Amino acid sequence: MPVDIAGQSYYALTEVAEELRVTRQSLWLWRKSGKIPVGRRARARQVLFTEAEVTAIREYANRLEPIELGGARQMRLFGQTGSKEGA
């Protein structure tokens, strides 16, 4: 349920996390790393977001990224170096 402050509707961080089915900690990390808007602070440390900010957060949370098959990270995971030596 949005909070109305000076004619503007704001959504609490906990509401956004619940709607998107992510943890508050995930939202905090995304905010800290600049991946989503930081929002505004109100009422004794409560973090609030505008509708536009919630839309940006939703888009980030629901993004799809292509999977890189055979990348260097995957090779390290399985103890391979990426070279064909010893293959």
pLDDT per residue, tens digit, the chain (87 aa), is 888 899 999 999 999 999 999 999 999 999 999 999 999 998 778 999 999 999 999 999 999 988 877 666 666 666 666 555 555
Among 30, 21, 20, which Cα is nearest to 54's? 20
* Residue linked to tokens 């402050």: 5
Against a cut of 0.75, is the pTM above it?
no
The domains of the chain, with CATH numbers, are 3-61 (1.10.1660.10)
Give the pairing type, strands 8-12 and 46-49.
antiparallel
**What distance in Å separates the CA atoms of residue 79 and residue 18, rounded to the nearest whole number?**
38
